[in-house]
Each structure stands twice: as structure tokens, then as C-alpha cells.
Amino acid sequence: MWIRRRVVLMPIAVLILGCAARRPKVGKIAVGEFEVGGTVSAVSRCHDPVDGLGLGLAKQIVDQLHARERDAFVAAKDHVPAGDLIVIGKITKIDGGSRAGRLLMAQTLGFGFTDYGAGGGFLRAEGRVIGPDGKTVGIFSSEHKEKSTGWFWLRYGDSARHQVAGCIEDVAAEIAEMVDEGVYRGGVPEAATRGPSGAPTRTAAERLRELDSLHQQGMVSDSEYQEKRRRILEEL
């Protein structure tokens, strides 16, 4: 009987230990406020202010990383993020969905213990993770559509704000999972990193190393160094 138990439990133990071994070891993880609005994001069917969504996404990513026992914090917007890993990005699409569609579902399905997505909101975020040396560790994107239906019929006609909040929660969970496991999905194709002539453009790491060199030589002041480094990271 004991031998049989060992035969059954050994593969499970190997699987668990294997997963634990693949989890990368990192120290502090800085999550910058995601850019949102203006020319950065395509906003549709959402009339609520979007300015605070980037900070809200960053906070939720940090909360999710804390739940995974990671040392993470939200980097101040006016400071250059610093950490063993730096997460920066943009919210590129916000869609509040169709409230009329959600209300229609309420009328046709009643209390509806269903799982339809008609009228649901949508959100997409893209970004990258950078190491302390300025090199890109991974490029990611995550998107989620919120379902329009819920347990109670009153939820069918809920606001675009609630729809977008639900999307942010799920996108944050997916990004945190990628950072925690070190496996990134939805990266930008190589062609996107090339200039009009087809020649590779200078990478952020190369520009940061050049900036560090100029700063060490005294050719760039401390304030200029911080500002230029922040701009390079924001362009990613």
C-alpha cells in the first residue's frame, strides 16, 4: 500500500517542484503608472474620466504580485522607476461597451444565470519589463472583455465605469502572472523595432548606457539625467 502511494505521489511532487524551480528569483518590482488618454488610448463608449485608470491598473498589478508573495510597489509618476524589475506600459484601448445592449439582455433573459457577453466593456494594455541594466526582459500585452450578464438582473444595465473596472482587474491579474512567472505573451513583432529604412533602431538599453556614460563624465547634470532617463523609459 505504501509503495502504491509513493508511485502516485512522486509525479505530483516532481511537477510541483518543477514549477517552483521555474519561478524566477527577483527582488523589488517597480510598477509604473500606465499611460492613458490622449493619443495613447482609443476610448469609445466611455464618458467617464480615464485619467486615474493607469494608476489603478498599476496598483492592482502590485496587489496581485503581493498575493504571489512578490516585493512590489507603485513607482511615483514624476520619478524614474528603480527596481530589480521595472514594469511600464500603456492602456491602448478602452471601450465601455453598450449599456443599451446590457439592458436588452436584462429584458430578454430576466434574472439570467447565463454567460453572454453582449454589450460588455473591453480594455487592452501593452508594455514591457526592464531589468536594472536597462535591458528589456519581456514585452507583454493583455486584453479582456467584461461579460454583460451577472447573477442579478440589476447588473445587466451597469455603467461603463463598472465594466472597465472589471476589465482592469482581469488585465492586472494576467500581467502580474506574467511578471511573476517570467513568461511574457503578446510581444511586439521584430519589424516594429525597425526604422523606415529597415535598419534596426537604437534600443532603449543602448540609449540608457550612453546616457549613463555621459552622466558619469559630468556632461549631463543630475536633473538632466533623471529627465532624459524618464523620457527614454516612457517611449518604450
Q: Is 131 helix (H, G, I), strand (E, B) or coil?
A: coil
Are 172 and 61 within 8 A, CB to CB? yes
pLDDT digits (tens, 9 = 90+) for 162-181: 888 889 999 999 999 999 99
15 in a structural domain: no
184: its cell numbers: 511574457
Q: Tell me the pTM.
A: 0.67
State whether 86 and 129 are in the same domain: yes
pLDDT of res. 39: 85
pLDDT digits (tens, 9 = 90+) for 41-60: 999 888 888 889 999 999 99
Whether residue 88 has pLDDT greater than 80: yes
Domain that holds residue 162: 24-188
Cβ neighbours, 10 Å, residue 70: 18
State whether 183 and 211 are in the same domain: no
**Across 20-49, average pLDDT:** 84
Are 136 and 210 within 8 A, CB to CB? no
d(CA 222, CA 39): 30
pLDDT of res. 27: 87
Domain count, the chain: 2
pLDDT digits (tens, 9 = 90+) for 130-167: 988 888 889 999 999 887 655 444 555 567 788 888 89
State whether 201 and 183 are in the same domain: no
pLDDT of res. 158: 61
85: its cell numbers: 524589475
